[in-house]
Amino acid sequence: MASGLVLIDKPQGWTSHDVVAKMRGVLGTRKVGHAGTLDPMATGLLILGVDSGTKLLQYLLGKDKTYRATIRLGETTQSDDADSPVEKAIDASSISTLEIDQAIKQLTGEIEQIPSSVSAKKIDGKRAYDLVREGKEVQLKPKSITIHSFERLGEPVVSGQAVEVEVEVRCSSGTYIRALARDIGIELKVGGHLTALRRTDISEFKVSDATTMEQEPVVVPMIEAATSLFSATEITSDQETDLRHGKRIVLDSAASNLAATRDGALIALIESVGSEYKSMAVFEAQA
């Protein structure tokens, strides 16, 4: 199997590690990793790196992501999603669409978000969710995130005393969508949690191009994957030799990071240092 990226449409109930373990067998290599964990409840785009493609994963971690989600207002859970029982219920049936839209607007732009207490964040070396399971109170510090767009899709649906709202969120890396559900509920004073989550985009990569766990995986070649993340620049044979020997090269470019290519192959990912460029990662020549 060639090196590169594999786009998987993760099914509900699978952990990201489950997908990696399965794909190691399917792809015939132990060198498989993923960029950006999805909770078992969530579905959608999970990007895997295969062999040399694992070197690209770190450059995907900080990229913007897009999600579609269902928020249930009027019910609060410990995990802020449907993976734990409802702890408190308040009649939300009289909440108006305008009130929901105003709450969404309050959570758009650059905001401070407190991650869900049942998250993988570490406190004194222990995962927050482990501390919660031990019955300990968890206080996580807020972090700065950016919600580029937060849109309601269709009309809210009243279900008994609860209200379900479909939304689409485009956000910076590190955003907790279930924390957004929680915070909308707090803003509206009725509580809220996430009942469905689907990741549709990571940077330029889309779930519509992904394969399911039952389908034959398609490997995005190294050069195609790298040039989706960075602008490409063609280098000379001498420049390739210099990069492979750890030397810096001079290029006529103002870009901070570039994918250096030659004769249709990815040679290296490079970054600017003053007027020169040095390698961040070097690859075996391949298409």
Count of CA atoms in the C-beta half-sphere (13 A) of 232: 15
**Is residue 215 situated within a structural domain?**
yes
Q: Examine the pLDDT at 72 and tell me if it is beyond 50.
A: yes
Q: Which of 72-81, 112-121, 238-247 has the lowest mean pLDDT?
A: 112-121
Looking at residue 121, its pLDDT comes to 54
Q: Summarize the confidence of residues 57-77 as an average pLDDT.
A: 96
The per-residue pLDDT for range 89-111, each reduced to its tens digit, is 999 999 999 999 999 999 999 99
Confidence bin at 287 (pLDDT 50/70/90): very low
Inter-residue contact 73 to 166 (CB < 8 Å): no
Q: Alpha-carbon dihedral of residues 222, 224, 225, 227, nearest 10 degrees?
A: 110
Residue 39 is a catalytic residue? yes
Residue 114 phi/psi, 5-degree rounding, is: -90, 120
| Average of per-residue pLDDT values in the chain | 91
The per-residue pLDDT for range 227-242, each reduced to its tens digit, is 999 999 999 999 999 9
**Domain identity same for 141 and 181:** yes
Inter-residue contact 139 to 145 (CB < 8 Å): no
User: Could you give the maximum distance between any two Cα atoms of the chain, in Å?
Assistant: 70
**Is residue 140 situated within a structural domain?**
yes
**Domain identity same for 75 and 20:** no
Q: What is the DSSP string of 10-45?
A: EPTT--HHHHHHHHHHHHT-S-EEEES---TT-EEE
H/E element, 184: helix 177-187
**Domain identity same for 209 and 120:** no
Looking at residue 36, its pLDDT comes to 84
Identify the CATH number of the domain in which residue 244 sits: 2.30.130.10
Count of CA atoms in the C-beta half-sphere (13 A) of 280: 18
**Is residue 272 situated within a structural domain?**
yes
**Is residue 287 situated within a structural domain?**
no
Looking at residue 99, its pLDDT comes to 98
Q: Which of 71-85, 132-146, 157-171, 205-219 has the lowest mean pLDDT?
A: 132-146
Looking at residue 131, its pLDDT comes to 46
pTM: 0.90
Q: Examine the pLDDT at 169 and tell me if it is beyond 90.
A: yes
Q: Examine the pLDDT at 75 and tell me if it is beyond 80.
A: yes
Q: Domain ends where: 194, 220, 246?
A: 220
Residues whose CB is less than 8 angstroms from the CB of residue 266 and which lie 6 or more positions away in sequence, other chains included: 222, 223, 226, 227, 259, 260, 283, 285, 286
**Is residue 225 situated within a structural domain?**
no
**Domain identity same for 95 and 196:** yes
**Is residue 87 situated within a structural domain?**
yes
- How far apart CA 226 and CA 245 sit, in angstroms, is 21
Query: Which of 9, 39, 80, 81 is the catalytic position?
Result: 39
Looking at residue 141, its pLDDT comes to 80
Inter-residue contact 227 to 257 (CB < 8 Å): no
**Domain identity same for 50 and 9:** yes
**Domain identity same for 151 and 109:** yes
Looking at residue 135, its pLDDT comes to 54
**Is residue 276 situated within a structural domain?**
yes
Q: Which of 69-78, 124-133, 186-195 has the lowest mean pLDDT?
A: 124-133
Tokens 């779930």 correspond to 207
51 phi-psi bin (left φ>0, alpha ψ -120 to 50, beta other): left
**Domain identity same for 107 and 193:** yes
**Domain identity same for 57 and 168:** no
Q: Examine the pLDDT at 212 and tell me if it is beyond 90.
A: yes
Domain that includes residue 192, residue range? 65-202
**Domain identity same for 49 and 69:** no
Q: Which of 83-87, 122-126, 212-216 has the lowest mean pLDDT?
A: 122-126
Looking at residue 267, its pLDDT comes to 96
**Domain identity same for 44 and 89:** no
Looking at residue 286, its pLDDT comes to 54
Identify the CATH number of the domain in which residue 169 sits: 3.30.2350.10
What is the number of domains present in the chain? 3
Confidence bin at 200 (pLDDT 50/70/90): very high
The per-residue pLDDT for range 123-164, each reduced to its tens digit, is 555 554 554 454 555 567 889 999 999 999 999 999 999 999
Confidence bin at 204 (pLDDT 50/70/90): very high
Tokens of 63: 């990229």
**Domain identity same for 79 and 141:** yes
- How far apart CA 26 and CA 35 sit, in angstroms, is 19
**Is residue 74 situated within a structural domain?**
yes
**Domain identity same for 185 and 125:** yes
